[in-house]
Amino acid sequence: MNRFMIAALGAALASLAPAAALAQVSPIELKGDVKVDTVVVENGKETHVLVEPKLVVPGDDLVFSTSYRNNGATPVKDFVVTNPLPTAVMLAPEGADKLVVSVDGGKTFGALSALSVAGTEGKARPAVAADVTHIRWILPVLAPGSTGKLTYHAIVR
């Protein structure tokens, strides 16, 4: 499960002659996944267990992940992953400050603490995790064969 193929490129890119061959055989393999972060209390100790999202209700903590792999023979540069948050979830406050996020629908990105949103009576207020609309990761270069996993925690609204 949780597999998908590259949904690839528009006609514009395909029309560029040198790119055409590369476009048809995309070197990047992506794999998305989602798990529910559950807490199991055993002998008074809390343990986090990631389970399949069979049972998900509002308030549940989800872990979304995107695994990537460069299957090509050449390095991939300027690897930019943009992840709009599903509307039914909000970014978990825990660890939100370690991500590059947008609170304006993906127009501008930055650290959450540096962003603000329109509050009541037209005054801007500091943005909080629940305001986040997009997350972005930027990897300067992916060597051939390199893999990684990008994850974030979100709470079902």
Partner 1 sequence: MNRISRLLGTVGAAALTVVSASPAFASGTASGTSITNTVTVQYQVGGVSQTATGASDTFKVDRKINVTVAEVGSTATDVSPGATAQVTTFTVTNNSNAALDFALVAAQQTGGAAAFAGTDSFDATNVKIYVDTNTNGVYDPGTDLEVAYLDELAADASKTVFVVADIPLSLGSTDVATVSLQATGREGGTAASMGGALSQTNTSAANEVDPMFVDTVFADVAGAVDGARDGAHSAKDDFKVLAAALSISKLSRVVSDPFNGTSNPKAIPGATIEYCIVVENATGSATASSVAISDPLPGTVTYDGGGVFLDGTVTSGACNADGTNTGAHAAGVVTGTLSSVAAGETKTLRFRATIN
By beta-carbon proximity to partner 1, the closer residue of 38 and 147 is: 38
Considering the complex, what minimum distance in angstroms separates the CB of residue 36 from partner 1?
A: 9
Q: What are phi and psi for residue 43, nearest 5 degrees?
A: 55, 40
Nearer to partner 1, 38 or 110 (CB): 38
DSSP 3-state of 155: strand
Task: Kindly list the residues in this chain that would bind partner 1 in the complex (CB under 8 A).
Answer: 1-2, 4, 6-10, 13, 16, 18-19, 22-23, 26-28, 30-34, 38-39, 46, 52-62, 64-66, 68, 72, 74, 76-86, 88-90, 92-94, 128-131, 142, 150, 155-157
| Shortest distance, position 110 Cβ to partner 1, whole Å | 18
Q: In DSSP terms, which residues pair with 142 in a beta bridge?
A: 76
Our measurement of the distance from residue 151's CA atom to the centroid of its chain's CA atoms, rounded to an integer in Å, reads 6
Angle, vertex CA 85, rays to CA 28 and CA 37, nearest 5: 90
Radius of gyration from C-alpha coordinates of the chain: 19
- The answer for residues whose C-beta is within 8 angstroms of residue 122's C-beta and 6 or more apart is none
How far is residue 113 CA from its own chain's centroid?
A: 19
Closer CB to partner 1, residue 74 or residue 147? 74
Measured distance CA(145)–CA(143) in Å, rounded: 6
- Nearest approach in angstroms of CB 42 to partner 1 is 14
CB of 102 to partner 1, least distance (A): 13
- CB of 88 or CB of 110, closer to partner 1: 88
Least distance from partner 1 to the Cβ atom of residue 147, Å? 14
